Every structure is written in C-alpha cells, then in structure tokens.
C-alpha cells in the first residue's frame, strides 16, 4: 500500500510539473508574438524545419566584444537559432603548429574558427585571401589555422620587433617567446618571412560602400522612386544564424534551404537586382529612402525588378547558394548612408 501511494504521489507531482511548464511556455510564446499585421506579412517565412525554430517568438541576443570581434549568441532560440559546431578538433593548447584546413560544404569563417577555438579575426588576419573576402569562401579553399589567437604577419622592409608589437598592440616578449618564430630579443628580421604575433589586433575602420559591391548590371539609374521605409525592420527570413556581424563580416548569414522565401526587411524600392561578380551571386538591394539600405545575397532567384517599390514583409527572393557560398544561406546587410551596420541593432 505504501509503495502504491508513493507511486501515485510521484505521478501526480510529474503531471503537476508538466502542467506548470505548459502554462509558462504558453505565456512565453504569447508575449513574444508579433502583431497580426506583421505576422500576416511574413506568414510565408514562419514554417520552422524539424522544430529547429520557434515561429513567432522574438530572439534576444547579447553582443560580447572580444578584440575587434563581436560574437552574437541567441539566448532563447527564437526566430533564429545558433548552429552547433561539433568540437572534433583538439583544443589549441595541445597544438603547437599550424594546420592547413580545407573548406567544406556549409563552412564559414566563424564556424571554422569555433572548431579550432580561435577568434574569426585570427583566421582573417592569417590568410590574406580571406581578409579580402571573408564571407565568400569556396569549397576546397585552403586556410592556414594558427595554434593561438593573433596575426600571422609577413615581415616588411624596416620592420622591427618593437614596431610590430606597437602596430598590433602586442608584447615583444610574446613574439620572441613564441616557439615557431625562432627569435631572440634584438634578432634581425628578414623581409618576407612570416612570424606569429600572439594576441595581436588589427585596427578596422568601416568605409562607406558606394555601390553594391561592384555589381554587373541590374542597378537602377532612373528618377527617384517615392517609396520610404518605416524605419522598423523585420527579419527577412527564418533559419539558423551561422555567422554573425563582426569587423570583417558586415552582415548576418542565415542558413536554411534553397527556395526558402526572403522578404524585404522594410519598405522602399529596389536599387539593384541581378548578378554580382564579386562573389555574392544573385543579389537584391533595397533603398529605404531614409538613409538605410538593405542587401540580400546568394539568392537562388529574385522576384523584383530595379526601380520597383516594395512593401515591408513582401517576398522578394528565394534563398540559395549562388556566387561564392559553401551552402544555402542568406547574407543580409543593413547600411546607413553607405556604412554597414550591425543588423541585430535594428531587428526586433
């Protein structure tokens, strides 16, 4: 009898906990639901795959500055969820040498860096071809992976250890003591050789972008279109946030599948729609008429024409992997007066 009573009591307790969880979950979902007008405008985007997303709830992000890199972490698994990176590589403290890594399908600088427990900026600063275009990798591309964070630097004429240390805000003793550099204090540096600058940091200055990354055709050059945005942006699509905004990646990468709808983040008119020769593939740009513009890249196809007015939430394209892309995703940028901005500062 005692056993039966105890088992009955435990079952009642479990049911009670489940009911409380359901009530709390319902309250959380209802508190994060967009208003009916917004929900209707993006209804085509709200079909999460395999329960990976929580449609209708608003994501909460916390940006953490580390050196010049900002790591964006999704805290509640809302519209976007952060892709997990399996740690199949040994920790950096057990590795003393460089590794040459071959870019795989679905890779980007942030996910590669996470596998090796490095900052994305370290990979950017240690690979010149990546620094020129960090968000446009190719499958099969080779990348040098340093064992520690910092800069793999090629010695220039008139360089000195103290000069390099001052330039990159590092310590001379850290450069000298790094075993792969084979240096001693006061040693001569040979032009063209490469040395590791542990914990070095390169300054980054945002520059205005006059055109859509030198597109080939598709730009609107007619009279000004009277179509102004509201100044309130919405998420352009749903999926997995695979790469955030940082110094050398001036947008968000949202991955899902080819054909997933992409919507205008705000009202305005299409300033560019077509093929971009620099690696973005099929791309759309929207001028919001208030200093803001948004860019949507790596599209599979687009449904708007240059000069066409578009409404906030209107489906303008389909997600793809055109241009230099290792997998299906949307590269999304927000610019103000030509200067790239962190989209997370403007999204709900």
DSSP 119-131: -HHHHHHT-HHHH
Q: For residue 244, give the nearest of 325, 347, 343, 129 by alpha carbon.
A: 343
pLDDT in tens, 240-256: 998 888 878 889 999 99
Q: Tell me what pLDDT residue 59 has.
A: 30
Mean pLDDT over 300-329 rounds to 94
- Which residue would you say has higher pLDDT here, 79 or 130? 130
Cβ contacts of 38-45, under 8 Å, gap ≥ 24: 38/234, 38/313, 41/234, 41/263, 41/311, 41/312, 41/313, 41/314, 42/234, 42/235, 42/263, 42/313, 44/261, 44/263, 44/315, 45/235, 45/237, 45/238, 45/260, 45/261, 45/263
pLDDT in tens, 81-128: 445 444 444 443 456 789 999 999 989 888 899 899 999 889 989 998
User: Percent of the chain scored above 70 by pLDDT?
Assistant: 68
- The pTM for the full model equals 0.62
Q: Tell me what pLDDT residue 50 has.
A: 31
Ramachandran area for residue 218 (φ above 0: left; ψ -120 to 50: alpha; else beta): left
Question: At residue 133, does pLDDT exceed 70?
Answer: yes
User: Percent of the chain scored above 90 by pLDDT?
Assistant: 45
When pLDDT is cut at 50, 70 and 90, the band that residue 207 belongs to is: low
Mean pLDDT over 129-156 rounds to 88
- Which residue would you say has higher pLDDT here, 335 or 92? 335
**11, 22, 53, 335 from 18: Cα distances, Å:** 11, 6, 21, 46
Q: Are 250 and 340 in contact (CB under 8 A)?
A: yes
The whole-angstrom separation of Cα 147 and Cα 178 is 11
**21, 31, 40, 98, 107 from 27: Cα distances, Å:** 10, 6, 21, 50, 37
Question: At residue 316, does pLDDT exceed 90?
Answer: yes
Mean pLDDT over 322-331 rounds to 92
Question: At residue 212, does pLDDT exceed 90?
Answer: no
Mean pLDDT over 31-51 rounds to 35
When pLDDT is cut at 50, 70 and 90, the band that residue 28 belongs to is: very low
Neighbours of 89 (CB within 10 A): 18
Averaged confidence pLDDT in the chain? 74
When pLDDT is cut at 50, 70 and 90, the band that residue 130 belongs to is: confident
- The two structure tokens encoding residue 243: 């790469």
Question: At residue 177, does pLDDT exceed 70?
Answer: yes
When pLDDT is cut at 50, 70 and 90, the band that residue 206 belongs to is: low
Question: At residue 12, does pLDDT exceed 70?
Answer: no
- Which residue would you say has higher pLDDT here, 288 or 222? 288
- Which residue would you say has higher pLDDT here, 55 or 277? 277
Question: At residue 221, does pLDDT exceed 80?
Answer: no
Q: Tell me what pLDDT residue 74 has.
A: 30
The whole-angstrom separation of Cα 149 and Cα 67 is 10
Which residues make beta-bridge pairs with 253?
243, 331
Q: Are 242 and 83 in contact (CB under 8 A)?
A: yes
The whole-angstrom separation of Cα 330 and Cα 239 is 9
């Amino acid at each position: 009898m005692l056993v039966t009573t105890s088992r009955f009591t435990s079952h009642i307790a479990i049911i009670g906990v489940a009911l409380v969880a359901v009530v709390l979950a319902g309250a959380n979902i209802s508190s994060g639901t967009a208003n009916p007008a917004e929900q209707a405008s993006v209804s085509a985007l709200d079909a999460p795959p395999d329960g990976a997303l929580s449609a209708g709830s608003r994501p909460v992000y916390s940006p953490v500055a580390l050196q010049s890199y900002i790591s964006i972490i999704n805290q509640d698994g809302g519209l976007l969820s952060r892709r997990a990176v399996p740690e199949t590589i040994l920790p950096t403290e057990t590795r003393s040498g460089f590794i040459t890594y071959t870019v795989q399908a679905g890779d980007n600088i942030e996910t590669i860096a996470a596998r090796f427990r490095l900052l994305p900026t370290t990979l950017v600063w240690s690979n010149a071809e990546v620094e020129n275009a960090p968000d446009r990798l190719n499958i099969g591309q080779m990348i040098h992976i340093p064992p520690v964070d910092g800069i793999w630097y090629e010695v220039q004429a008139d360089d000195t250890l103290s000069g390099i240390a001052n330039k990159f805000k590092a310590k001379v003793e850290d450069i000298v003591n790094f075993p792969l550099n084979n240096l001693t204090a006061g040693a001569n540096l040979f032009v063209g050789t490469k040395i590791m600058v542990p914990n070095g940091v390169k300054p980054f200055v945002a520059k205005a972008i006059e055109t859509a990354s030198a597109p080939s055709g598709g730009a609107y050059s007619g009279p000004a279109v009277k179509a102004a945005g509201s100044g309130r942006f919405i998420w352009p699509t749903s999926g997995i946030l695979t790469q955030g905004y940082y110094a050398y990646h001036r947008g968000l990468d949202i991955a899902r599948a080819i054909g997933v709808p992409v919507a205008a983040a705000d009202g305005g008119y299409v300033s560019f729609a077509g093929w971009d020769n620099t690696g973005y593939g099929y791309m759309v740009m929207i001028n919001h008429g208030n200093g803001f513009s948004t860019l949507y890249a790596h599209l599979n196809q687009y449904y708007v024409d240059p000069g066409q007015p578009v409404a906030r939430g209107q489906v303008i394209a389909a997600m793809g992997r055109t241009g230099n892309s290792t997998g299906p995703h949307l590269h999304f940028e927000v610019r103000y007066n030509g200067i790239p901005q962190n989209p997370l500062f403007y999204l709900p």
